[in-house]
A and B are shown apart, each in its own frame.
Chain A
Amino acid sequence: MHISLAAERIFTIFKMPITNTLLMSWIAMAVLILISVLATRKLKLVPRGIQNFVEAIIEFILDFINQITGNRKEAEKFFPLVTTIFVFILLSNWLGLVPGVGTIGFFEVAHAGSNEQVFIPLFRSANSDLNMTLALAIVSVLATQIFGIITIGFFKHLGKYISFKNPGLTFAGILEAIAEAVKVLSFSFRLFGNIFAGEVLLIVMAVLLPFIAPLPFMLLELFVGFIQALIFAMLTLVFLKIAVSEAH
């Protein structure tokens, strides 16, 4: 049994390492793009089939966001980012539970010059790689900054972090700035930790008791995958809402 914290490298193109988690994120992207193409291929005012299904989901999420932002225009502005984060993380997490992911692979020599063979899975749940979750966290935090600057103006937004009006505000600004950096870490490590732990748990269970026993844990991981996607998206939404509000 070999568990690697880092994602395994499958091959390299132009010095660009391609890992199994990167492959998984591509698959998730491809699935989402395929669904969107199918849903919008023939748009009709009276929807049917997959268009109806996707519309229902969009309407549901939009209403949900609307409840937090309190106005429809803002909800529509935040919708693309929040929804993409949610569906992408959810799909990645669930794709990681598909049979074959983590078990299909090949053996490789662990170190040059040694005889030890190491199993390299071809696919691995995308969010069990810190690169992926860190990327999402950076996008999320950067987006909140950009939305803040666009909505309330560059200097007003900067004033949340740098202020010389009084020592108290200066200190609070420094704290805010640190909080932004911590957000990136908390976002990425929460998602990574949960999904990686789930992967390890499933691997361990599969090794200990290959039949039936892993099933409840699979269900649990389905739930964890959903909850983590929801948390990531919701926190992004809340931070967005805070970023576009005037400082008080």
Chain B
Amino acid sequence: MNELFHKLGVEWKLLLAQIVNFVILLFLLKKFLYKPLINLMNSRRQKIVEGLEKAKKGEEEFQKIQELREKELIKIQKEAEVIIAKAKDVGDKKQQEILKEAEEKTKKIIEIGKGMIEIEKEKMLKEVRQDIADLVVAATGKILEEKMDKGREKEMINEVIKKLEKQRSGI
């Protein structure tokens, strides 16, 4: 066995040297090449993933805000519509009330006016009657004072009557 290895050129010193060489190379490369580069690549990968996630989150947030805004707008619009409808209702009612009141007032005023006219009429009639009575008294007094002739008397009475009649039909 030993001879075979010797013929193949295997020498334990050289073998050991090559093993040590390779292990040294392995550790050097691991420490100075693989580790820093792989760490760097992983951190870069991490950063890219984080960046993408952030972008996604931002977009989602933006979408949410947009949706919220739209909802709010719709809500506000509805509220405004409700308010306007209410205001219209109130206005209509008020209008109706005002109109009714005005009508009532007009009616009242007309009635009052009518009543006043009636009273005035009554008053006038009363006055006229008084006037007529006064006139009759005056006329009678005159007739009595003057003691005119019978013909004249008759004429005067007729005149008075005529006057009275005229006055009545005048009213």
Contacts and interface: CB of A to CB of B under 8 A. Distances in A.
A76 B37 CA distance: 12
A54 B8 CA distance: 37
Interface residues of A, number: 44
B38 A17 contact: no
Nearest to A132: B18
Given A80-B29, A81-B26, A55 B37 contact: yes
Contacts of A35: 33
A39 interface: yes
Contact of A32 (B9, B18, B29): B29
A81 B25 CA distance: 10
Interface stretch (A18-26, A154-162, A216-224): A18-26
A7 B29 CA distance: 27
Summarize A's interface: helix, strand, loop or mixed. Answer: helix
28 contacts: A6-B7, A7-B14, A15-B13, A17-B11, A17-B13, A19-B14, A35-B33, A39-B33, A40-B33, A40-B37, A54-B33, A55-B37, A55-B40, A58-B34, A58-B37, A79-B34, A80-B26, A80-B30, A83-B34, A84-B22, A84-B30, A88-B22, A130-B9, A131-B10, A135-B19, A136-B18, A139-B22, A139-B26
Interface of B: 7-11, 13-19, 21-26, 28-30, 32-34, 36-38, 40-41, 43-44, 47
